[in-house]
Chain A
Amino acid sequence: MENDGIITGNDGYLNFLSKEKFFSDHILNNSRSMLSIINRNYIYEKVNTTFCNAHRGFANSIIGKSLGDVWGNDVFNNNIKQNLDRCFSGAVVRYEASFTTPQSGKRYFEVIFRPFPVESGEITHLLAETFDITDLKLSEKIAIEKEEEFRKFETNLPIGFLRCNPDGRIIHANKAFMMIMDSRDENQLCFSNLRDYYVDEGIFDIHLEQLSDSKPKVFGRIQLKTCSGNVIVCRVSAYMSLTQSGKPSYVDFSFEDSSRELMLESRLLQAQKLETIGALAGGIAHDFNNILATISGYSELLQEDLPNSSPSTEKVRKIMIAVSKARSLTNQILTFSRQLEQEKVNVNIYDVLKETIGFVRSVVPSNISIKSFFRKKDTSVYADPTQLFRVFLNLLTNAIQSMDEKGGTISIRLSVIKGQSVQNELNKNIVADEYVLVTFKDTGTGMDPSLLRRIFEPFFTTRDVGKGSGLGLSVVHGIISEMGGEIMVSSEKNIGSVFYIYLPVSTEFKEISKIPDKKKTILFITGNKHESRILSLALESSGYELIESSDKDQLVKLMSDIKSRPDLIVYMSDAERIKTDDLLGIYSDSEIKTPCILITDSNLDSMEEKLVNSGIIKQHLIKPVSLKEIKNAIQLSI
């Protein structure tokens, strides 16, 4: 302790002064700050004990020394002198400095110089106060690092985060929130009120009310309007911070975009719905087939009982035709519900697509153009080609119908994609390494979302009652699902629709049916060769030789010679150039016993009924005809 005063016990005043000095010295020397008095010559005139301790010396070794001596001339001239001069001209100077000493490493100090005026107002001395702020500095540094870390976390988190005032004014929003809201500028958001982004503002008030107990809340999904005007669905959580007096201070919100989740949920729901309807419809179809079998069986017995000349024969035939129609309908329901036995072969999907487009081209109005883009022309899928034909034909027909009046373009694309990307896109277990993706895009009327959700349901139709069974797209869905594929649709009102079909590429060579020893020849009589070619694709691999005829003279020539005569005739009701009468004419030659299969639409005209009644038809099939059906019919006929 410094005490250079003289203490005299009997002089009261001096005693008082000494006591005062003793106290103030005690305070000065025990301050944590280094204190010193510096004169105009930058010489230390007085220092406290803390100062001495820091410099590992006694007051005597410092008092009288210049600052240059104590701190080094470089440090003095560069850092200290200018601050001292400012103080001598009357200012209180405050600054931070750091010094490195071998004993204690780098230390940080806060330095304050205060002018020490004498009575005349002249500044002859200053009070220097220096204290070690190294610990403070270090914690400040850690705090900055922590904040930086948090900022990074908050910026890169894929969850929208924002802080707002209790009235909803946004104070801060992170990058993810800006992305969710389609906002380019944080400032744009910060000048706005969160309430305005709620589709239902009432919900915002409910949220605030629930938050007032200062507990974290999970609110679930709400609808938000984005900056670009879209409506999105987000999962919201929030927490309100209160002031010490319990008033709302600010609110932190987190927003998670639920679009993908919702999309997957609705797809799952859709699939479950279709499955339920399928199980129901399939069950009914199954029972119905039992009843139909009974009706058809008794009709056949009745037919046997009746003499050929009986006028009732035709009535019985009509019952049997009705049974065939009903069978065709139950088959469609079973196809939709994936309960129909199907015969599949390895088939080049490009061939089927090409034939289907060819089939449609002949009937498409001139104001509609069909463009095709095929990446690969040699990809096999394991399918019934007649079913694939139905799928493509159905989608093409729908596309044409949606552009009926104004015309437009149908773009068809075929490409092969990796199974992995199908898995990512559809969130579906994959069954093959590669998938074929076929897309049908039209520029037609498009569909409302409410319509879009239901188009794969059976008996859901947008056409007038009575036109079509409404099974079309539900059957398409059933066929694709049965093949292990997936069908998706996107549509926009007045812009058009796109259908996406994903089918697993078949790599294994599946065993084909046993090839008969001698190839049987089948003659197709048809108006449109594309449809019969689809059947050819499948039947040729089963060992049949297929020939076509669409010309009467050619047919007569073929049939007149036993050598060129086919083993079987398949007559399709769209054969315009060979009428049913022409066929009957050929069979009037009693020598000709070639079996004939008739394929018609479900509505038979009188000529076709005449043909059915004529007795030359071994099997009558109603479109759509599956590969299995035609093969059965061929086996029964030959």
Chain B
Amino acid sequence: MEGKSEIQGILIVEDEKDLREMLKVSLTRKRFNVFEAENGKDAITHFKPAVTDLVITDLIMPEEDGLKVIMKLREMKPSIKIIAISGGGKAGPGSYLSLAKALGADVILSKPFSVNDMISHIEELLFVEQG
């Protein structure tokens, strides 16, 4: 990240408010520009491709799930980096994370994850991208 003047934007899509806020605090502290969406529909409607470099999305949410978010945002901005997070599927065997991977999530993390691990992943993804 050294030597980069532009602040990178991260969109957090998570229906659980406390968790979303915690991620926002952690990432803002790391000098990212953080956007929030509380469900998939919200995320897709208010997506700003120009200023968003990475998306962190939960998979099971009301109003369009995470898989839809991954597909739509990839369509709108193919270079976007995606981290999928899930706490074990409510609906059926826990195959959501594999599906997310198949749909093009760069990193998949099971809840509860370590924020520091999450940040290492983000830095790796964005650092590689910026060369």
Flag if B88 contacts A301 (CB, 8 Å): no
Q: Evaluate contact between B88 and A289: CB separation under 8 angstroms.
A: yes
Tell me, rounded to whole Å, the shortest Cβ–Cβ distance linking A92 to chain B: 91
Say whether B29 faces chain A, with CB atoms less than 8 Å apart.
yes
- Pairwise interchain contact B23-A290, C-beta atoms closer than 8 A: no
Given contacts A293-B112, A301-B115, contact A339 B90 (CB under 8 A): yes
A341 at the interface (CB under 8 A from B): yes
A286, B112: Cβ atoms closer than 8 Å: no
Q: How far, in whole Å, are A298 and B24 apart by their CA atoms in the complex? A: 11
What's the least CB distance linking B108 to chain A, in Å?
Answer: 8
Which residues from B are CB-within-8-Å of A334? 88, 94
Candidates A292, A301, A341, A636; contact of B95 at CB < 8 Å: A341
Q: CB-defined interface of A316-329 with B at 8 Å, one 1/0 digit per residue? A: 00000001001100
**Docked CA distance A191–B85 (Å):** 74
Contacts of A301 in B (CB 8 A): 22, 25-26, 29, 115
A286: contacting residue among B87, B113, B117, CB under 8 A: B87
Q: Given B22, B87, B93, B116, which contacts A482 in the complex, CB threshold below 8 Å?
A: B93
Which chain A positions have C-beta within 8 A of B129? none
The reply to whether B98 and A296 contact each other, CB–CB distance below 8 Å, is no
Contacts of A636 in B (CB 8 A): 117, 120
- Shortest CB-to-CB span from A8 to chain B, Å, is 117
Question: Complex Cα distance A482/B92, Å?
Answer: 11
In the complex the two chains form, is B88's CB within 8 Å of A294's CB?
Answer: no
Q: Which of B19, B88, B98, B115 has the most CB of A within 10 A?
A: B88
Choose from B60, B88, B116 the contact partner of A285 (Cβ within 8 Å): B88
* Chain B interface mostly: mixed
Q: How many residues of B contact A (CB 8 A)?
A: 31
Which of B18, B90, B110 is close to A283, meaning CB atoms less than 8 Å apart?
Answer: B90
Alpha-carbon gap, A473 to B85, bound state (A): 29
Q: How far is the CA of A338 from the CA of B92 in the complex (A)?
A: 8
Q: How far is the CA of A491 from the CA of B72 in the complex (A)?
A: 55
B residues near A293, Cβ cutoff 8 Å: 19, 22, 85, 87, 111-113
* CB neighbours of A340 from chain B (8 A): 88, 94
Residues of the B chain whose Cβ atoms lie less than 8 Å from the Cβ of A220: none
B16 within 8 A of A: yes
A291 is an interface residue with CB less than 8 A from chain B:
yes
Q: CA separation between A294 and B95, bound complex, in Å?
A: 23
Chain B residue at minimal CB-CB distance from A481:
B93
Which of B19, B22, B94, B111 touches A339 (beta carbons < 8 Å)? B94
Decide yes or no whether B67 CB sits under 8 A from chain A: no
Cβ of A282 within 8 Å of any chain B Cβ, yes or no, is yes
Q: Which of A282, A286, A294, A326 contacts B22 (CB 8 A)?
A: A294
Which of chain A's residues have a CB closer than 8 A to the CB of B62? none
Which chain A residues in 63-106 approach chain B with CB under 8 Å?
none
Knowing A286-B60, A289-B87, say if A297 contacts B115 (CB, 8 Å): yes
In the bound complex, residues from chain A placing their C-beta under 8 Å from that of B10 are none
B58 to A, closest residue via Cβ: A290
Q: Does A576 contact B (CB under 8 A)?
A: no
Q: CB distance A297 to B26 under 8 Å?
A: yes
A323 to B92, CA, bound (A): 25
**Interchain CA distance A636-B114 in the complex, whole Å:** 11
Measured CA separation A430–B89 after assembly (Å):
25
Q: Which 7 A-B pairs have the closest CB atoms?
A: A289-B87, A292-B112, A293-B112, A289-B111, A297-B22, A334-B88, A290-B16
Q: Give me 11 other A-B pairs in contact (C-beta within 8 A), A290-B18, A297-B22 excluded.
A: A282-B89, A285-B88, A286-B90, A289-B111, A293-B19, A293-B113, A295-B112, A298-B22, A340-B88, A340-B94, A341-B94
Give A residues with C-beta under 8 Å from B: 279, 282-283, 285-298, 300-301, 304, 323, 326-327, 330, 334, 338-342, 482, 636
27 sampled A-B residue pairs with Cβ under 8 A: A282-B90, A285-B87, A286-B87, A286-B89, A286-B90, A287-B87, A291-B18, A293-B22, A293-B85, A293-B87, A294-B16, A294-B22, A296-B112, A296-B114, A296-B115, A297-B22, A301-B22, A301-B25, A330-B88, A338-B94, A339-B92, A340-B88, A340-B94, A341-B88, A341-B94, A341-B97, A482-B93
